[in-house]
Amino acid sequence: MEELKGKTLTRCHGRRPTAWDIEQLEEDVAQIATEVKTSLFQGGQDHGCLAAVISEEEYRLEVMDNTYTYVEPLGQALPAYNPNITGNEDEYAIKALEAEHKVYRTDRLRYEGLTEHIKDELLKRSMRQGSRPSSAQEGDTQIFPSNVSSSTFAATQRS
């Protein structure tokens, strides 16, 4: 994604990361995720993809909704067309559903680009320190699982 090209993570110079380094890394990732506005998450027009990088509890405070539940957008295949179009709709309804699906596809692709950018930055950062996180696997897409706090997650240096 072009808009993320200049967005990098703060570097930890030649030492083991401290609690401050991990906190700074969390802030950097959250700031980058917030810039990618989306309709995939409740409050995504204001908070972008922040829901993907902080815990459910923290995001509930951001959107002021105690019942918010994180749902991984990449959990299912991206359909080529809107599955809600049955053929029984009038032309206006079909165009509206197609437009809605186009927004969803665009947001989903932007989210995928964001996850790849953050993974790349985390890998670059860890390689600069001389090691690749052992849990980094090709094809991993989730940044921070919703059931793990970002502090715990960053501390383990998973991507």
pLDDT tens-digit series, residues 20-56: 888 888 889 999 999 999 989 999 889 999 999 899 9
- 3-state DSSP: the chain helix, strand, coil percent, rounded to 5? 50, 0, 50
Q: What is the mean pLDDT of residues 85-109?
A: 88
Whole-number pLDDT of residue 67: 92
* pTM higher than 0.75: no
Instruction: Residue 52: name the closest of 66, 38, 33 by CA.
Output: 33
Q: Name, in order, each residue with C-beta under 8 angstroms of 98's C-beta and a sequence gap of 6 or more.
A: 81, 82, 85
pLDDT band at 88 (very low <50, low <70, confident <90, very high): confident
pLDDT band at 151 (very low <50, low <70, confident <90, very high): very low
Please state, in angstroms and rounded to a whole number, the distance separating the CA atoms of residues 103 and 96.
11
Q: Sign of the C-alpha dihedral, residues 141, 147, 151, 153? A: negative
